[in-house]
Amino acid sequence: MRLGLQTGLLLAENYLDTAVRRDSLARQAQKEQTRALLVEAALRVFAERGYEEAKVEDIAAAAGYSKGAYYFHFGSKEDIFLQLLEHWTGEQTEHLKAFEEASPAAAALLETLEAFLSYEERAVVWPRLVVEFWAQARLHEAVRRELNRAYASWRRLLAQAFRRAADSGLLSPQTDPDAATRLVLATHDGLVVEACIDPEGARKVSLRRVLGALLAYLDSPVTQAAPKRSQTVPAEKPSRGARRPRPSAA
């Protein structure tokens, strides 16, 4: 009888412990879902209204929560803006890191650059939010610091990718990886602006054609090291009063 009581108490304890853990996991999952919905709502609100015009209560309402629920997860409007910024920079960095282990290099380079430049289904809102990141960088030190860190990382990863492409014979060994990197980043930023100004036109752009033209340009003789100018000795000017030689008769 005593053994049965002990067994029953042990089973009850295990059941309660399991129930507590299950309840804790459920609450954690609910918190994560609420946070994710708030971030998704912030993405839409910032893209539609801009950072300055967006309000915390607008984000909470768009997610279906109260203002108090928002402040349970985020301390300020800037906090959720920075989370979106870090999500964007992290995702773009992962696109470029994929090239480090990918092969063959030729196909991998094209796919890597296409993933970095393309926003696909995200093109409706993300380009507008990226422009907001750029605009707020001059006002918010944390935004400027994250953008500087991200762009420095992208320059390093892209330069490595172009060096690997040159080593594999995909591009000329004379290709300047740093200049090629700047060109890709300028292309990315230009496409983001175009998507904001003319979304319909931007959706019709073929990134494969853009990248094909870009890589062809990088591999063309025009972009290789310019030949040194010949050191020509200028003709001596005749001294004042000296008679100029007459041209010989035809």
Cis peptide leading into 238, omega within 30 of 0? no
Range in 15-24, 62-71, 162-171, 238-247 the model is least confident about: 238-247
Rg (CA), the chain: 30
Confidence of residue 13 (pLDDT cuts 50, 70, 90): low
pLDDT the model gives residue 46: 96
Lowest mean pLDDT across 52-66, 75-89, 166-180, 225-239: 225-239
Q: For residue range 161-204, what is the model confidence (pLDDT) as tens digits?
A: 999 888 888 888 888 999 999 999 999 999 999 999 998 888 88
pLDDT tens across 212-246, in order? 888 888 877 666 554 444 444 445 555 555 455 55
Q: 46-82: string of b/e by CB count within 10 Å (b at 16+)? A: bbeeebeebebebbbebbebeeebbeebbeebeebbb
Which domains does the chain show, CATH number per domain? 1-75 (1.10.10.60), 78-222 (1.10.357.10)
pLDDT of residue 227: 44
Lowest mean pLDDT among 5-9, 10-14, 177-181, 234-238: 234-238
pLDDT exceeds cutoff 60 at 10: yes
Residue 186 is predicted with a pLDDT of: 96
Q: 190 or 250, which is more confident?
A: 190
Whole-Å CA distances, 4 to 9, 16, 181, 244: 9, 18, 74, 129
Q: What is the pLDDT of residues 111-162, one digit of tens each?
A: 899 999 998 767 779 999 999 999 999 999 999 999 999 999 999 999 999 9
Q: The whole model's pTM is what? A: 0.77
